[in-house]
A = this chain, B = another copy of it.
Amino acid sequence: MTSPTIYDVARAAGVATSTVSRAFSNPQRVSAPTRELVVQVAAELGYSPNPHARALTSRRTQTIAMVVSDITNPHFFEIIRGAELRAKASAHTLVLVNAEESPRIEREQINRLSRSVDGFLLAASRLPEDDLVELAGSHALVMVNRQVPGIPGVVLDQREGCRQLVTHLASLGHTSLAYLTGPRESWMAASRWAAIRDAAAEAGMTAVRMGPFTPRVTHGAAAADAALTTGATALIAHNDLLAIGVLQRLAARSVRVPDDVSVTGFDDIFAAELCTPSLTTLGGTHVNLGRAAVELLLEAADAPRRPGAAAQHLVLPSQLVLRDSTGLARGRRGPA
């Protein structure tokens, strides 16, 4: 009934338990013939190592936790999917944690899991930078879509992406834009605004920031209303969900998109190409974000705290997806 242990295998193979152990966890430490014998006997007995016993002494759990700030946001799912795929490829288990946009929950869950996992993937973490630095001291950490000095991370290129986005709007004749920003704690929101502002200045556009808004569809109404008061003809929403909510509100208020105002989002979620009008958005291959993040984490866990080596920061390309929600600025229609 109860599953076999290394003792059973050792006895059956006529070797010591340490040999069995090594045959599995440190194969090159054992001669080929012995290893094969052990492996074969183990297979016959249906032995497989107990992960908890293994973790107890070795402190390696083959498990990584992914903490997302809000599991409700479909854009995370691509990241999660990429992470799961990559983790599975390395025989690692992926634990999923939803921080529900709460720094407190985020912190609690990290503490709770700190013994059970090899490291954390923090996606769009809402924790203050100090906390993160402190955590990084005792845990392997990889940030996703947030840059923290000294902590490895992967992000989608915002600077360049935002520049393209703003340039696109400028080329359509827009001269003023409004950025509908996300949560106060969101590093992404700050980073996007900085990039947008700079790009706007460069393109000779005026840029204002409104918000913060909770980046959900339902909060698009408030965002749209606020944006309209600015007179801006180009609205850049913090993400696609908010943008879709904005589109809905504009439609309800009979503001035509893109004839009266242009609207853009971020993330290129699945729904972005289905909504009406379809949404111009700054996307990128989020699957790769997840994948790369796991990769970084596995490296970090292997070579823990190599002191000299700076924390790796990967910047993956974003890409501007042009759809129907952006068009010539008002008054720029027809033959120039």
A63: chain B residues within 8 A (beta carbon)? 95, 116
In the complex, the answer to whether B71 meets A93 with C-beta atoms within 8 Å is no
Report the minimum CB–CB distance from A41 to chain B (whole Å): 19
In the complex, the answer to whether B98 meets A88 with C-beta atoms within 8 Å is yes
Most buried by B among A51, A80, A94: A51
Interface residue from B50, B61, B72, B271 paired with A271 (Cβ < 8 Å): B271
Q: Nearest residue in B to A70 (C-beta to C-beta)?
A: B81
Given A50-B56, A74-B77, A274:B244 Cβ within 8 A: yes
A309: chain B residues within 8 A (beta carbon)? none
In the complex, the answer to whether A71 meets B80 with C-beta atoms within 8 Å is yes
Instruction: Report the count of interface residues on A (CB-CB < 8 A).
Output: 38
Complex Cα gap A93–B113 (Å): 8
- Please tell me if A276 contacts chain B, counting CB pairs below 8 Å: yes
Count this chain's copies in the assembly: 2
Of residues 15 to 66 in A, which have CB atoms within 8 Å of B's CB atoms? 48, 50-53, 55-56, 61, 63
Complex Cα gap A96–B86 (Å): 13
In the complex, the answer to whether A61 meets B52 with C-beta atoms within 8 Å is yes
A55: chain B residues within 8 A (beta carbon)? 52
In the complex, the answer to whether B96 meets A84 with C-beta atoms within 8 Å is yes
Report the minimum CB–CB distance from A100 to chain B (whole Å): 8
Report the minimum CB–CB distance from A332 to chain B (whole Å): 27
Interface residue from B91, B112, B116 paired with A52 (Cβ < 8 Å): B116
Of residues 178 to 212 in A, which have CB atoms within 8 Å of B's CB atoms? none
Q: Nearest residue in B to A56 (C-beta to C-beta)?
A: B52
Complex Cα gap A306–B88 (Å): 34
Of residues 72 to 112 in A, which have CB atoms within 8 Å of B's CB atoms? 72, 74, 77, 80-81, 84-85, 88, 91, 93-98, 109, 111-112
Residue contacts A-B, CB under 8 angstroms, 12 given: A52-B53, A52-B56, A52-B61, A63-B95, A71-B84, A88-B97, A88-B109, A94-B95, A94-B97, A270-B271, A271-B271, A276-B276
**A-B pairs with the 10 shortest C-beta distances?**
A52-B55, A274-B275, A52-B52, A96-B96, A271-B271, A52-B56, A274-B274, A51-B116, A84-B98, A271-B274
